[in-house]
Chain A
Amino acid sequence: MEEMIIAILRSATPLIYVTLAGVIAQRAGIWHLGLEGLMIVGACSTILGIVLTGSVFYALLLACLFCILGSIIFWFVVEKLKANQIIAGLGLTGLGLGGTTLAVEAIFGTPAAVNAKFGLPKIGYVFGDIFGAFNGLSILVLLMPFVVFGMWLLICRTRLGLQITASGEHPFAARSVGVNPSRMRFIALMIGGVLCALGGAELAAGSLQIFAQNMTAGRGFMSFAAVIFGASHPIGAMLAASFFAIVGALGIRAQLVFGDDVPHDLLLGLPYIATIFGIWLSAKLRGGAKAVSGFDELRD
């Protein structure tokens, strides 16, 4: 059981960080499909940072820097150039996936996986032996509940959070009380950039200490689904992301139990199926988009 909880925490933590980034963007009125791209940029720059500078602190700084840079580009394109959020988000994701491959190729000559000698500090290393079996988890796992709580405070209990929410829900109303929705979206995306960097760092350097091409494997999109499933509330989104992680962990468990009786490639698909289920359920419960998505802005 303990092992199971550790496995779930390991796979849920990166998802939760990135989901929080999606939540705050969603609140500000941006459908953030670039999460996948920012996440892999975070993962890649953390590992490259550790390999090149030998310091976890600088590596995290580098990850935050690149993710914020990506967020600024995304904000500029979506907000200033009024590009379609979904397509621009997919573009950002492609830029992240391609850019990280290119960066690895530029530095090491081949696009193969990169190993770092060490990863993020472990709980046991920082706080001593007080968490028992959980000592092997990285400090970002320990930090996660506080970040979730902090985001809840920020979004639901501060002026800035309410202004961000208002900019997403009713930009006109926000503007009429002197809030600049565009600036609120900028702030939301910057906070999201840092969160994506942390999520990517945890994914690559939390327990594995490795960066491989396309290693996010749709986790960013899954996080986006968790935002929808969790009604873009920080706590709800955390629960939704945990649900996807639990299903994934159960899939891995099932591989051990069933062995070769069930093809394991198909068990790997369980989190994706859970995501589809989650989207369906939230549409059922809260009433989804009944009207068409609207592409008219494309055809002027």
Chain B
Amino acid sequence: MNNIIEIKKLSKSFPGTLANDNISFNIKNNSVHAILGENGAGKSTLVKILYGILEPDNGTILLNNKNFAVKSPSESRNLGIGMVFQHFSLFDSLTVAENLVLGLDENISFSKLKEQVESISLKYELPLDYDAPITNLSAGEKQRVEIVRILLQNPKVLIMDEPTSVLTPQEVDKLFVTLRKLINDDKTILYITHKLEEVKKICDEVTIMRNGKIIETCNAKNEDVKSLASKMLGKKLPEIEKSKINSDNKKTVFEVNNLDLKYNDPFLVDLNNISFKVREGEIFGIAGIAGNGQSEIMNILTGEEIIKKKSAIKCFGTDIGNLGPKKRREMSIAFVPEDRLGHSAIPQLSLLDNVLLSQFKGNQFSKFGVINKNEIKEKTIEIIKNFNVVTTGYNSFAGSLSGGNLQKFVIGREILSNPKILIISHPTWGIDAGAELFIRQSLINLAKKGTAIIVISQDIDELLEITDRISVIYKGNLSDPLDTKNISLEKLGLLMGGKF
């Protein structure tokens, strides 16, 4: 088998980081080649260079033994390279057909396009509702539109960037069927991922990246999940310690009763009759694919959106639906929203200033509206120390911290307020494995002390690891909770697909 792509001594730097450091490896024709690495390992930079979005500082790429130096994605498409992005680039208000036409470089009539799309759909098992608006599609269907759009250009190499991050387990299986068909049809797939099981399941060869460098390129069949993990992380991670207290007989401290909210907005998800209860010392998970109402629920739980029916949310028996975030914090409820850049923290401000963002009852951060800087400084130092935040000091900008360190800082800020209830959305999104483990352990330790925790997450592994019970949200409906101990992945997948 000959190589379709050869990468030689490729380097790319950004201010402050060397994203790709002297990278060399080959991709065999007609194979699924994985690039495995953690967030920040340099995978995205590499594929962006291949697709012509970025230019390398140094190095050569050969495509079919010919020099390949493209300056734009359209050049790259003309040479037979297509890419499916992790975040879809579709126009929500247009139909599938209109989106497909927009992605094409040449003019083509709708009827001819329909013929082509139908043959592609049939050949690779990618069923599409041609006239449906994108808004009405599930994540899996949107991804199919993206794949068909790329296949219309008949590429030889298909780059897929974290394709399964928004799919249910069942949708992942369907995607893999399509990928195998593509391979049978003489295509090559470059598969970017940080999920080890997927490498084992679908890939032929795997290139492992860490800190911008290639660690190794090896045959995926000869590796197991453990060996891949240690190569990817560069060290063995300790196991999470999960000796939890039994919260079955504890009292309910936080409940949501028949929360019903119609937004009348096509870009927001209506919430239908949502109810759940959380007990003292319990970690309650809300699973589901992104865009099924998680951000709407989070806004209501934090009080950033106030609801009229105040009895829909109860904390220690008090109605709090009509209280804003400040009042809720005074009741010892702490929050960590998903986005740490500009929501739970402000990148342009120092860590010191960021501490002041969430003020709890009993702190001495201000008196008569005048800020007490010493008190805040002490708190900042305490957070940095107790939560292993790597930073140059309390005066550094929040934006200068890595994702993992900033997330540790934000979560530390909330945990050190000794909350009775912690509501947290996607706690380990986009951070390195070390910080991920640290944060999960911190949450478990907090629950041991009696805090009730609500975790909204797309990461099923995370929820299985730390929660006591899990409910699934689908199109604004919340399933009955399941005990995490006896849960099956298949059942969870069905729930995530809306089969309650």
A binds B: no
Interface residues of chain A, those whose CB is within 8 Å of chain B, are none
Which B residues are closer than 8 A to A by beta carbons?
none
